[in-house]
Structure 1
């Protein structure tokens, strides 16, 4: 994969109608310290407007992983 690689903790949530819809294997390869991977049941690119509760729940889940490691 070309480009910089992130080693810091990364949390990713994939929304089913997002463009582009990235495969989990690509995400795992791009982010060596993936602490959370979530698949939302609904939503597109503008998840904050379309599915705010799902987005907030996913952010909290991702951050919870970081807090446990601190």
Structure 2
């Protein structure tokens, strides 16, 4: 089973796997609660998939200055 979007494509948007997972999980909970997402034609049926698609389409980003190393 191939997961889409791929981790390689996602890491071109957000460099850290930890940040990517944390952001996607938090956004997935928001989508689950509100039933509102920012993807016009989603390919995914899951909340996490929708969150990852938002990241890939750059509708969801991280302010690198606010990330603590």
TM-score (norm 1): 0.29
Q: Which has the higher helix share?
A: 2
Q: Which has the higher strand share?
A: 1
TM-score (norm 2): 0.30
Select the structure of larger CA radius of gyration. Answer: 1
